[in-house]
Structure 1
Amino acid sequence: MGVWQLLLVGLVMVLGLVGVLVPGVPGRWLVWAAMLWWSLHELSPAAWVLLVASTALLLVDQVVVWLLPPRRLRGTGITRRMAVFAGLGAVVGFVVLPVVGAIPGFIGGIYGTERLRLGGHGQAAASTREVMRAAGTSVLVELFACLVVAGAWLVAVLWT
Structure 2
Amino acid sequence: MGVAQFLLIATVMLLGLFGVLVPGVPGTWLVWAAMLWWSLHERTDLAWILLASTTGLLLLTQVVVWQLPPRRFRGTGITRRTAAYAGAGAVLGFVLVPVVGAVPGFVGGIYLSERLRLGGHGQARASTRAVMRAAGTSVLVELFACLLIVGAWVGAVVAE
TM-score (norm 1): 0.98
**CA offset at residue 74 of structure 1?**
2.2
Tell me the residue number matched to 1:131: 131
**CA offset at residue 137 of structure 1?**
0.2
RMSD: 0.6
Where does the alignment leave 5 or more consecutive residues of structure 1 unmatched? none
Q: For the residues of structure 2 that align with 1:107 and 1:132, how far apart are their CA atoms?
A: 8
Tell me the residue number matched to 2:42: 42
Tell me the residue number matched to 1:54: 54
**CA offset at residue 4 of structure 1?**
1.4
2:119 maps to a residue whose letter is G
TM-score (norm 2): 0.98
- 1:20-31 equivalences in 2 (<5 Å): 20-31=20-31
**CA offset at residue 95 of structure 1?**
0.6
**CA offset at residue 24 of structure 1?**
1.1
Secondary structure of residue in 1 paired with 2:4: helix
2:96 maps to a residue whose letter is V
2:59 maps to a residue whose letter is L
- 1:87-98 equivalences in 2 (<5 Å): 87-98=87-98
Percent identity over the alignment? 74
Where does the alignment leave 5 or more consecutive residues of structure 2 unmatched? none
Q: For the residues of structure 2 that align with 1:123 and 1:91, how far apart are their CA atoms?
A: 25
**CA offset at residue 127 of structure 1?**
0.6
**CA offset at residue 43 of structure 1?**
0.5
1:122 maps to a residue whose letter is G
List structure 1 runs of 4+ shifted beyond 6 angstroms.
none
